[in-house]
């Protein structure tokens, strides 16, 4: 961590495969647990288990029961896409 902020590698390790898939699903328009499940292909229990981590890391936010990427989440998604 640099200045209290997690690096891209820190975030990748904290999120793991499932968290990253959820991040990308939300970016593609998934807004609730069911659509996140459909877009990511992950079981609902995994989605429900990872959403709190994404919220705690300030990568997503909830507005009127819908999930959206924060600026930090969008930056991470862009960084992850550029590596692939």
Band (5; pLDDT cuts 50, 70, 90): confident
Judge whether 44 and 15 are in contact, CB under 8 Å.
no
1.10.10.10, 3.40.630.30, 1.10.3720.10, 3.90.1150.10: CATH of 8-79 = 1.10.10.10
- Residue 68's DSSP bridge partners are 61
Q: What is the pLDDT of residues 38-52, one digit of tens each?
A: 999 999 999 999 999
63 dihedral zone (left: phi>0; alpha: psi -120 to 50; beta): beta
Structure tokens belonging to residue 80: 């992850």
* pTM, rounded to two decimals: 0.89
Judge whether 59 and 80 are in contact, CB under 8 Å.
no
Q: Which phi and psi angles does 30 have, rounded to 5°?
A: -70, 130
pLDDT of residue 58: 96
Judge whether 69 and 60 are in contact, CB under 8 Å.
yes
């Amino acid at each position: 961590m640099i200045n209290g902020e997690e690096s891209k590698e820190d975030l990748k390790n904290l999120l793991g495969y499932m968290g990253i898939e959820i991040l990308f699903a939300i970016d593609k328009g998934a807004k609730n647990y069911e659509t996140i499940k459909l877009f990511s292909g992950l079981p609902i229990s995994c989605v429900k288990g990872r959403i709190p981590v994404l919220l705690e890391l300030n990568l997503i936010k909830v507005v009127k029961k819908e999930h959206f990427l924060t600026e930090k989440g969008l930056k991470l998604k862009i960084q992850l896409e550029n590596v692939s």
